[in-house]
Amino acid sequence: MMSRIVGIDLGTTNSLVAYVDERTGLPVVIPDGEGRRLLPSIVGFTPDGIVVGEAARRQLARRPADTVYSVKRLMGRGWEDLKDELRYFPFKVLAGEGVVKLAVGGREVTPPEVSAIVLRALKERAEAHFGEPIEQAVVTVPAYFNDSQRQATKDAGRIAGLDVVRIVNEPTAASLAYGLHRLGQGVIAVYDLGGGTFDVSILRVKDGIFEVLATNGDTHLGGDDFDRVLMLWLLEDIQARHHAQLDRDCIDLARDNEFMQELRLAAEAAKIRLSTEERTTLTLPLAGFTYHRVITRAEIERLLEPLVARTLGPCRKALADAGLTPAEIDQVVLVGGSTRVPLVRKRVQELFAKTPHSQLNPDEVVALGAAVQAQILAGGIKDMLLLDVTPLSLGIETLGGIVSVLIPRNTTIPTSAREMYTTSVDGQTVVDMHVVQGERELVKDNRSLARFELRGIDPMPAGMPKIEVTFLIDANGILQVQAREQRTGKAASIEVKPTYGLTDADVERMVEDSFTYAEADVETRLLIETRNEADTVLTHVGRALRQAGPLLEAGERQTIERAVAALREAREGKDRDAIRERTTDLNHATEHLAEVMMDAALKGALGTRRANEIMTSKAEAPPSSGDRR
């Protein structure tokens, strides 16, 4: 029997688990024993143990420091990335090693450990439903999640005892739920407005393959803000109508936490009712009197209009980034509870000039799509290949701090790439591999993803070892890097560990910067490469002179030494052409020396050191650390 795979939406506020019902072929959400479909993504640490979901939500007000919510915002991210966001968290966040940790309930936990508690609750929910163990899941993440954040999500699954067989982008999942993978070809806009975050993604689907063309959004905009504006408007109204009573009793409602909490809940309930009703009555008992207020759809829409308008800018930006006009969007999908607000639907429909898909429950659509993907993977749906693309280029640092890209940005995954590198120092036995991500030419301007070492290389002259570096991105967007020295067969298979995370804005900035600085970057890169080439030739000539110098006539030796001195001087300057010319001169001056050399290998090395070859051949570019050791 084929093993069952469930689909999981691991959300910022709520999480869900779903599967495809084999009898109907439709995806359905699995409820808990009491019929609840959404599991609040909240974990409480109490002296008696850990609580999750509703139980954790109930203790939120009482034990804010020991109740973790919105942990998704912390997944795979470093202290530096989060500094500005920490004020949103009432629990303690610590700078861990690369990624942050939380100090809650008298202990330290990592964000994946907290997410694992949510995942385990969903796993148990599914196991209770099927009466059998569930060990595999498809889990969704936002399209803009970087490798660290995706890896952290996978880690959470592993901790929960779930093999995350695939990570799927949330907008891709939502499109799957609507069956849009069956479109031969098309462009889809996914508008996702939840409780606290807003995301918009532009996807292209072709032959069942989804490609993320652009993403945008606002990490702090959602239904909570709708509640807040309504609540503040109601507070003013109460104060205006009842100021006599309030003043007499010296009541300052804004400072009454309990009242404000009740007002917030009443405001949210009224907002939800107004999504289906034209008018609603809000009733709030206060000390000594009761506040009654009829609120109309028109009134709430006036209040929400500026907030809804704030989502349209990111939509236009995503369209511009994808190089598309609204008319070129074929399908629009709505995700997130706040897309039930009629005004939101109206504005989205106006912008894209299309009726959005909204037949499915917007809270559940991502989990339903994850279930569809799970079914495809389990073999229940045939002939489907589902892929995404890498958001940023991936490469390694090479000599002089320049980046050698192995997998360019926007490559469809899964994918792999292979390049040959070598050392730049004689007798080097260890090579530092530095994996970087980004669009700039120099390592210092990109994001450092991981470092590892290839050890145990036999001591050889510089340039002799052949180091094969393989990058592999699996279908989940997780990167594995392997380095192998071919001559000695020494191999090191290394897992890339996530370090610091990236914000959405960072990705955008990195891509923008690469355009802004393109010219200067290329110039710097070419200068470094020309200098590297000069250094390599100088090293080899120095070695050859030591070994075979005595066999040369004094005049020839002097000519070579003059050419060496001239190249050394040129190398200190910034004139690329001058360095290249002096390198060529030195190569000419040593042609006879190369012939004299008995060492065939060395002769070969000298013979291949031609500037133009080295400029274009990556196999000649040694990993940066090569020259540091």
Tell me the catalytic residues.
Answer: 9, 72, 170, 192
CB neighbour class for 290 (10 Å; exposed up to 12, middle 13-18, buried from 19): exposed
Render 130-172 in DSSP notation, one character per residue.
HTS---EEEEEE-TT--HHHHHHHHHHHHHTT-EEEEEEEHHH
Stretch in the footprint of ligand AMP (CB under 6 A) among 216-224, 258-266, 494-502, 607-615: 216-224
Site string for ligand AMP, 358-377 (x = CB under 6 A): -----x--------------
Report if residue 57 touches ligand AMP, rule: CB under 6 A: no
Q: Which H helix or E strand runs over 61?
A: none
CB of 483 to ligand AMP, least distance (A): 43
Report if residue 280 touches ligand AMP, rule: CB under 6 A: no
Strands 402-407 and 394-398, bridge-based pairing: antiparallel
Report if residue 268 touches ligand AMP, rule: CB under 6 A: yes
* Cα 334 from Cα 355, distance rounded (Å): 10
CB of 174 to ligand AMP, least distance (A): 11
- Of 15 and 153, nearer to ligand AMP (C-beta) is 15
* Residue 485: closest CA among 525, 442, 428: 428
Given a contact cutoff of 8 angstroms between Cβ atoms, the answer to whether 401 and 442 are in contact is yes
List Cβ neighbours of 533 (8 Å cut-off, separation of 6 or more). 580, 583, 609, 611, 614, 615
Report if residue 229 touches ligand AMP, rule: CB under 6 A: no
CB of 340 to ligand AMP, least distance (A): 4
How many chain residues bind ligand AMP (CB under 6 A)? 17
CB of 21 to ligand AMP, least distance (A): 23
Report if residue 337 touches ligand AMP, rule: CB under 6 A: yes
Report if residue 140 touches ligand AMP, rule: CB under 6 A: no
- Of 40 and 157, nearer to ligand AMP (C-beta) is 40
How does 344-353 read in b/e, with b if 16+ C-beta sit within 10 Å?
bbebbeebbe
Residue of the chain from 13, 216, 331, 482 that contacts ligand AMP (CB under 6 A):
13
- Of 41 and 446, nearer to ligand AMP (C-beta) is 41
CB of 13 to ligand AMP, least distance (A): 5
Q: Which residue is nearest to ligand AMP (CB)?
A: 223
Given a contact cutoff of 8 angstroms between Cβ atoms, the answer to whether 393 and 405 are in contact is yes
* Residue 181: closest CA among 359, 367, 382: 382
Report if residue 349 touches ligand AMP, rule: CB under 6 A: no
Stretch in the footprint of ligand AMP (CB under 6 A) among 122-130, 133-141, 236-244, 334-342: 334-342
Report if residue 579 touches ligand AMP, rule: CB under 6 A: no
* Cα 626 from Cα 429, distance rounded (Å): 9
List Cβ neighbours of 62 (8 Å cut-off, separation of 6 or more). none
Q: Which amino acid is at 319?
A: L
- Of 212 and 341, nearer to ligand AMP (C-beta) is 341
* Residue 350: closest CA among 314, 313, 312, 317: 312
Site string for ligand AMP, 177-206 (x = CB under 6 A): -----------------xx-----------
Report if residue 271 touches ligand AMP, rule: CB under 6 A: yes
- Of 363 and 439, nearer to ligand AMP (C-beta) is 363
CB neighbour class for 591 (10 Å; exposed up to 12, middle 13-18, buried from 19): exposed
- Please identify which residue in the block is written with the tokens 């060990």: 135
- Of 337 and 391, nearer to ligand AMP (C-beta) is 337
Stretch in the footprint of ligand AMP (CB under 6 A) among 264-272, 289-297, 547-555, 576-584: 264-272
Given the rule CB under 6 A, which residues bind ligand AMP? Answer: 13-14, 194-195, 222-224, 268, 271-272, 275, 336-338, 340-341, 363
